[in-house]
């Protein structure tokens, strides 16, 4: 199995270019099957989750073609089987976003069937809100033997109130409602930048969606969608991860191809603890401080525009090196502190009580062998390894590869010492090489 080996203690310095947003891409790639015409999608991050979803889209008969590494052509006109995404499919079960095909295919064909979605184990991840939304639009939804089947003669627009703010349910209902007769309103909708991106993509195909990015999305049903060319927004979480890596290593990194507005919650917390964040039109420069430890703070994860749950582990690693005691309250997922034990092995002082982590900063982490429990926690452990004294090995990096494109190459370009290895011998070689 692949692992990362890292020699820490080197400040990251230089420039990094951020890829397209994974979570926007997943919604957009699924939405692309809703027209029989060709869609050309640019800035698709080349990560495991997008590759797996594209494979699933190919499996139902759509024509999927990579024009280059980050540009994909999808034509939904050749779809033959809306029930091909079966429970035994090892790929589809691995990614959460497979459920976007439920909404997209239900909207287009009046029937869809997908294996219950997998994804990172960060707490119970029900799909009841997705189901309620489809049912409100007039669909029958059956969950049986690990499969979700949705069907409807004709979807009809409705007023739908989401009692929890959910990114996935908002996108899925929006997809299904594109072809529903009349007007659908989604109230208490999620406002994440990728919701806006999926809505903009659908509108560029001829959908009629208004209010995306606010808590009320209004969709007027249309009869058909056309092909389009579209470029995905930059990944807010990848950008945030590099911001944390710059700060935790006391480095100085220009993070390019970002929308600074999307990073505000992260930038303002980093400024508050004493890091320097300079915003430009489409980049941010983040400067840590090697001479003086940063300060402590309180973080509460919230739906956008609050502090993102997907940045919580990386922030914890940064706060673990700050002076004083910080408290992180996780309000979105109940099992998102699984990295705490691993970080403790690196010398961090973290106590988890319910949905709170109490972090008393230490002056230095020490390298250790750790296991990535999920995607973002895995990235956080890489940051800890980059900041730590000595060598760190991060196992189970397949989680990290779900959502970060060429993470090791981008870190190497910033002067970080990191490599993918498979054996003890590779680790020894790395140690000899970097000294």
Q: Could you give the residue numbers annotated as active site?
A: 120
Q: Does 96 bind ligand UD1 (CB under 6 A)?
A: yes
Q: Are 350 and 339 in contact (CB under 8 A)?
A: no
Does position 23 bind ligand UD1 by CB under 6 A? yes
Burial of 281 (0-12, 13-18, 19+ CB in 10 A): exposed
Which C-beta is closer to ligand UD1: that of 120 or that of 414? 120
The distance in angstroms from the start CA to the end CA of the chain is 24
Q: From CA 167, how far away is CA 191, in angstroms rounded? A: 8
Residues with Cβ within 8 Å of residue 213, at least 6 apart in sequence: 191, 193, 195, 196, 199
Contact between 26 and ligand UD1 (CB under 6 A)?
yes
Length of the chain: 435
Q: Directed axis angle between helix 167-177 and helix 22-31, to 10°?
A: 20
Task: Count the site residues for ligand UD1 by CB under 6 A.
Answer: 20
242: CB partners within 8 A, 6+ apart: 12, 16, 18, 253, 255, 286, 410
> Does residue 391 touch ligand UD1 according to CB under 6 A?
no
Site string for ligand UD1, 168-207 (x = CB under 6 A): xx--------------------x-----------------
Residue ranges in 138-167 that form contacts with ligand UD1 under rule CB under 6 A:
164, 166-167
The smaller minimum CB distance to ligand UD1, of residues 12 and 196, is found at: 196
CB of 434 to ligand UD1, least distance (A): 33
Q: Which is nearer to ligand UD1, 119 or 361 (CB)?
A: 119
Give the neighbor-by-neighbor strand order of the sheet with 159-161.
159-161, 183-187, 216-220, 208-210
Q: Please, which residue, 111 or 125, has the CB nearer to ligand UD1? A: 125
Residue 400 lies near ligand UD1 (rule: CB under 6 A) = no
Contact at 8 Å (CB) between 172 and 217? no
Nearest residue to ligand UD1, scored by beta-carbon proximity: 168
DSSP state of 92: G
- Using the contact rule CB under 6 A, the part of the chain among 7-15, 62-70, 121-129, 313-321 near ligand UD1 is 121-129
Using a 10 angstrom Cβ sphere, with 0-12 exposed, 13-18 middle and 19 or more buried, the burial of residue 4 is buried
Could you say which of 235, 238, 310, 374 contacts ligand UD1 (CB under 6 A)? Answer: 310
**Closest distance to ligand UD1 from the beta carbon of 390 (Å):** 31
Among 21, 30, 129, 219, contact with ligand UD1 (rule: CB under 6 A): 129
Taking CB under 6 A as the binding criterion, the range among 66-74, 123-131, 198-206, 240-248 that sits at the site for ligand UD1 is: 123-131
- Please, what sign has the CA dihedral across residues 159, 165, 168, 170? positive
By CB under 6 A, name the binding residues for ligand UD1. 23, 26, 96-97, 125-130, 164, 166-169, 190, 309-310, 332-333
């Amino acid at each position: 199995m692949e692992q990362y080996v890292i020699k820490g203690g080197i400040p990251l310095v230089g420039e990094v270019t951020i890829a397209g947003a994974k979570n926007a891409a997943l919604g957009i790639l699924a939405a692309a099957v809703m027209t029989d015409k060709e869609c050309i999608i640019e800035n698709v991050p080349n990560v495991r989750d997008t590759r797996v979803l594209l494979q699933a889209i190919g499996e139902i008969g759509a024509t999927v073609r990579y024009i280059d590494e980050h540009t994909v052509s999808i034509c939904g006109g050749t779809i033959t089987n809306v029930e091909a995404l079966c429970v035994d499919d090892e790929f589809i079960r691995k990614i959460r976003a497979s459920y976007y095909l439920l909404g997209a295919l239900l909207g287009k064909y009046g029937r869809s069937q997908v294996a219950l979605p997998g994804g990172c184990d960060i707490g119970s991840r029900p799909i009841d809100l997705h189901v309620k939304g489809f049912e409100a639009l007039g669909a029958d939804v059956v969950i049986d033997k690990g499969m979700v089947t949705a069907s409807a003669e004709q979807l009809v627009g409705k007023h739908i109130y989401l009692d929890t703010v959910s990114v996935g349910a908002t996108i899925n209902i929006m997809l299904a409602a594109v072809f529903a007769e009349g007007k659908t309103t989604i109230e208490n909708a999620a406002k994440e930048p990728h919701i806006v991106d999926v809505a903009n993509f659908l509108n560029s195909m001829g959908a009629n969606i208004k209010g995306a990015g606010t808590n009320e999305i209004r969709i007027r049903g249309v009869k058909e969608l056309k092909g389009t060319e579209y470029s995905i927004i930059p990944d807010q979480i990848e950008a945030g991860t590099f911001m944390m890596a710059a700060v935790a290593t006391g480095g100085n990194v220009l993070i390019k191809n970002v929308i600074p507005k999307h990073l505000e919650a992260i930038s303002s917390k980093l400024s508050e603890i004493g890091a320097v964040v300079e915003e430009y039109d489409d980049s941010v420069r983040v400067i840590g401080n090697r001479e003086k430890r940063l300060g402590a703070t309180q973080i509460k994860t919230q739906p956008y525009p609050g502090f993102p749950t997907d940045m919580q582990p990386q922030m914890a690693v940064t706060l673990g090196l700050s002076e004083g005691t910080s408290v992180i309250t996780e309000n979105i997922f109940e099992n998102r502190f699984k990295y705490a034990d691993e970080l403790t092995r690196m010398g961090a002082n973290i106590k988890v009580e319910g949905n709170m982590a109490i972090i008393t900063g230490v002056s230095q982490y020490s390298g250790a062998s750790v296991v990535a429990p999920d995607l973002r926690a895995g990235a956080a452990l890489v940051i800890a390894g980059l900041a730590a004294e000595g060598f760190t090995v991060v196992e189970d990096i397949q989680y990290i590869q779900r959502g970060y494109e060429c993470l090791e190459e981008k870190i190497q370009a910033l002067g970080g010492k990191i490599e993918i290895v498979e054996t003890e011998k590779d680790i020894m070689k790395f140690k000899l090489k970097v000294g």
